[in-house]
């Protein structure tokens, strides 16, 4: 199936007391066989097809297991910091 990749950037208003806002800069519709890349630090989202099964192959430039990452919530302009995990996490 297809896959919609959306890229974002931070935009700053004239009022420096207000936080920046994420602004969509590009949508890329990937069809079967297409490839796309993201540079380290690029903010993006991925939405697989709702009609067909989508299979992803993700190649990264570093081991993301345990890497600190950010999840952005566009509706309220907030972020969640989390640690990636490909291994089951054991409670500490």
Q: Is 62 helix (H, G, I), strand (E, B) or coil?
A: coil
Q: What is the pLDDT of residue 26?
A: 95
Domain boundaries, the chain: 3-61
Q: What is the pLDDT of residue 91?
A: 57
Structure tokens at 15: 């009022």
Tokens 């089951």, residue? 88
Tens-place pLDDT, residues 28-52: 999 988 988 888 889 999 888 888 8
Query: Which residue spans within the chain are E strands per DSSP?
Result: 3-11, 21-30, 43-48, 68-73, 78-83
pTM of the model: 0.74
Residues 69 and 38 sit within 8 Å (Cβ to Cβ): no
Q: How far apart are CA 83 and CA 64, in angstroms?
A: 9
65 pLDDT exceeds 90?
A: no
Q: What is the pLDDT of residue 89?
A: 56
């Amino acid at each position: 199936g297809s896959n919609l990749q959306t890229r974002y950037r931070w935009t700053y208003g004239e009022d420096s007391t207000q936080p920046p806002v994420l602004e969509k800069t590009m949508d890329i519709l990937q069809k079967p066989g297409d490839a796309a890349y993201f540079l380290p630090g690029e903010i993006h989202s991925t939405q697989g097809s709702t009609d067909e099964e989508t299979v992803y192959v993700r190649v990264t430039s570093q081991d993301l297991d345990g890497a600190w990452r950010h999840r952005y919530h566009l509706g309220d302009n907030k972020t969640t910091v989390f640690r990636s995990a490909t291994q089951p996490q054991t409670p500490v």
